[in-house]
Amino acid sequence: MSGNDAYDYIIVGAGSAGCVLANKLSESGRHSVLLIEAGGSDANPLVTMPRGMARVARDPATTWQYQTEPEPATAGQPNSWVRGRMLGGSSSVNGMVYNRGTPADYDDLERAGCHGWNWNSLLPYFRAMENHELGEHPMRGSGGPLPISLHRLKAPLHASVFEAASEMGVPAVEDINTTNLTEAIGYVPRNIYKGQRWSSARAFLRPALKRANLTVVTSVQVGAIAIENGRAAGVRVKGSSDVGYRARREVIVAAGGIESPKLLQLSGIGPAAMLQSFGIPVIHDNPQVGRNLLEHRCVTMTWTVRKGFSDNPAFKGWRLVRNVAEYYLTGTGVMTSAYADMIAYVRAAGGDDGRPDAQLLFLPFSVKKGRLPVQVDDEPAISCTAFILRPDSRGEMALRSANPADPPRLMPNFLATEHDRLVAVGIVRYVRKLFQLAPLARNIVAARDFGPDLDSDEDILGAWGREGHTGSHLIGGCAMGPGRDAVLDLSLRVNGVAALRVVDASVLPIMVSGNTNAPVMAIAGKAADLILQSNE
């Protein structure tokens, strides 16, 4: 590495967004592209094996590890957050659930002033990247680089959940992503192909690696953007004050929902008073950097069940050894499943907008609380993870120091709004009711937590605080918006600094009704077009 290393585009972070950008910006062969990743390679059998998630998503060698600041909504406890730190970023450790949110979410974005980001503008990007096993449909794609398959390994839980959901008026659908129904349930669509995780690195980066104009460096953490005369000139590597790599056209920060706002702040773009308190020269005072955070708060409810109704035994002792062996010998079996088997959108609190307000994920297993590495329960049990789909409690983050090695202070401010508390309580009552219906109840021995003893709204919210966990979907820290006070303009350019963009989860100003991997990749697809058009 030397100060003479210059590229047309420098992308910081090889995660869900970064890999899409690296592919599309290098596609024509006309531009030199440098992709810099803080973590290492993704060549790890536990990354490829879907159920390996239980290990890689907790391993300090493959993840960034954070602790949130204690707050009332987390019962005064810090919560543990992780993000992927290797090629593929969080898409190499995530639950592989592929969902996109609903058209109404993106139309909300447009209404919030984010012109050009409505559903009709983004659908072509979703469709172009998708290779859905169900084939072509006006609402989904086939033939793209990203495989999507539906959960297929049958478990006794499934029929009971479908039946109970139907009694609640929730229809079963083949593809949860193509429905505009208010409520629906189906098998989980997953980024899994032939039994293997298909991360963003696998889908977008690997096919581009042979291009002579794409350079990828790993195990290099960018410590700051080098800004010269109001323009991003390149990047400084952590621990060095030199401009390690220079950008002729643009620097694109794709370091994810937590590290991107942190990197902007370390580079002098953020709330002036905070930056000055750490001795960071202010390049552009913008209090919005690191504000407006939105995250999915989840609960996982667990029931002990009769023998044969839970997959827990499959993940213990000799059966686990046999199942891992089956996986490596044949690529089949229980180790090929994503985080959850089934997914539902429901109206748990039933507000008057007619839209679903909660996502439910059904798991044929359960894990011991607070145990690392993750271990399944000794007794047969099943669980349901649920989250508030479109939370509006906004949190913030701030630097802990001027040292890029220090994790930021994360203050999610969960359950701060009436809406979020209403839906949180609605979720527990709804899921409890669902599991009390005969198709499920006849298999259940006892509710293990969130049981009937939690009666009042206050008690239920207290349990959300003690037992709740993160959805790992943080957005908003570098939100785009129509005004100059937003962190980014509508082409994802950083306001106040030339030749600098952010493209990742942090750019979304409002939460989509689902998980965030697919939206981030589609946003990156559109951003790449915007970047290429503006540099023609």
Ligand X SMILES: Cc1cc2nc3c(=O)[nH]c(=O)nc-3n(C[C@H](O)[C@H](O)[C@H](O)COP(=O)(O)OP(=O)(O)OC[C@H]3O[C@@H](n4cnc5c(N)ncnc54)[C@H](O)[C@@H]3O)c2cc1C
Q: Kindly state the smallest distance separating residue 126's Cβ from ligand X, in Å.
A: 12
* DSSP 8-state class, residue 66: E
Half-sphere exposure of 242 (CA within 13 A, CB side): 7
Both tokens of 261, joined, read 């706002």
Contact 431, 161 (CB under 8 A): no
172, amino acid identity = A
Contact residue for ligand X among 7, 9, 10, 16 (CB under 6 A): 16
Both tokens of 439, joined, read 């198709």
Binding to ligand X in span 437-496, by CB under 6 A: 472-473
Residue closest to 376 by CA, chosen among 468, 473, 295, 311: 311
Q: Are strands 342-346 and 184-187 parallel, antiparallel or unpaired?
A: antiparallel
Contact residue for ligand X among 38, 225, 431, 511 (CB under 6 A): 38
Contact 301, 386 (CB under 8 A): yes
Query: Can residue 243 be called a binding residue for ligand X (CB under 6 A)?
Result: no
Q: Kindly state the smallest distance separating residue 472's Cβ from ligand X, in Å.
A: 3
Shortest-Cβ-distance residue relative to ligand X: 15
Query: Can residue 520 be called a binding residue for ligand X (CB under 6 A)?
Result: yes
Rounded CA gap, 455 and 468, in Å? Answer: 17
Pick the closer one to ligand X by CB: 291 or 421. 291
Query: Can residue 14 be called a binding residue for ligand X (CB under 6 A)?
Result: yes
What is the distance, to the nearest Å, from the Cα of residue 210 to the centroid of all Cα atoms in its chain? 28
* DSSP 8-state class, residue 420: H
Pick the closer one to ligand X by CB: 254 or 294. 254
Pick the closer one to ligand X by CB: 102 or 472. 472
Pick the closer one to ligand X by CB: 255 or 486. 255
Q: Is 364 helix (H, G, I), strand (E, B) or coil?
A: coil
Pick the closer one to ligand X by CB: 454 or 524. 524
First to last CA, the chain: 28
Residue closest to 505 by CA, chosen among 478, 483, 532, 471: 478
Pick the closer one to ligand X by CB: 108 or 259. 259
Query: Can residue 96 be called a binding residue for ligand X (CB under 6 A)?
Result: yes
Q: Kindly state the smallest distance separating residue 491's Cβ from ligand X, in Å.
A: 18
Contact 397, 409 (CB under 8 A): yes
Contact residue for ligand X among 7, 11, 13, 141 (CB under 6 A): 13
Q: Kindly state the smallest distance separating residue 404's Cβ from ligand X, in Å.
A: 7
Query: Can residue 525 be called a binding residue for ligand X (CB under 6 A)?
Result: no
Q: Kindly state the smallest distance separating residue 153's Cβ from ligand X, in Å.
A: 17
Contact residue for ligand X among 175, 250, 357, 504 (CB under 6 A): 504
Binding to ligand X in span 54-73, by CB under 6 A: 57
Choose the stretch contacting ligand X; rule: CB under 6 A; options: 123-131, 414-422, 510-518, 525-533. 510-518
Contact residue for ligand X among 146, 398, 444, 505 (CB under 6 A): 505
Helix (H) or strand (E) holding 428: helix 418-436
β-partners of residue 228 are 231
Q: Kindly state the smallest distance separating residue 40's Cβ from ligand X, in Å.
A: 9
Q: Kindly state the smallest distance separating residue 320's Cβ from ligand X, in Å.
A: 21
Q: Kindly state the smallest distance separating residue 242's Cβ from ligand X, in Å.
A: 16
Helix axes of 418-436 and 457-467: crossing angle, nearest 10 degrees: 90
Rounded CA gap, 456 and 296, in Å? Answer: 23
Give catalytic status of residue 158 as yes or no. Answer: no
Rounded CA gap, 348 and 513, in Å? Answer: 14
Query: Can residue 83 be called a binding residue for ligand X (CB under 6 A)?
Result: yes
Rounded CA gap, 430 and 389, in Å? Answer: 14
Rg (CA), the chain: 22
Choose the stretch contacting ligand X; rule: CB under 6 A; options: 11-19, 107-115, 267-275, 421-429. 11-19
Binding to ligand X in span 212-231, by CB under 6 A: 221-222
Query: Can residue 517 be called a binding residue for ligand X (CB under 6 A)?
Result: yes
CB atoms within 10 A of CB 174: 11
Choose the stretch contacting ligand X; rule: CB under 6 A; options: 14-22, 329-337, 442-450, 493-501. 14-22
* Residues in binding contact with ligand X, number by CB under 6 A: 42
Choose the stretch contacting ligand X; rule: CB under 6 A; options: 79-87, 140-148, 365-373, 455-463. 79-87
Contact residue for ligand X among 10, 11, 17, 500 (CB under 6 A): 17
β-partners of residue 40 are 86
Query: Can residue 515 be called a binding residue for ligand X (CB under 6 A)?
Result: yes
Q: Kindly state the smallest distance separating residue 373's Cβ from ligand X, in Å.
A: 14
Residue closest to 381 by CA, chosen among 337, 428, 332, 435: 435
Residue closest to 33 by CA, chosen among 43, 41, 23: 23
Query: Can residue 94 be called a binding residue for ligand X (CB under 6 A)?
Result: yes
Binding to ligand X in span 247-276, by CB under 6 A: 254-257, 259, 263
Both tokens of 325, joined, read 């062996």
Both tokens of 493, joined, read 């350019």
Active site residues: 473
Residues at the interface with ligand X (CB under 6 A)? 12-18, 36-39, 57, 82-85, 89-91, 93-97, 221-222, 254-257, 259, 263, 339, 472-473, 504-505, 515-518, 520
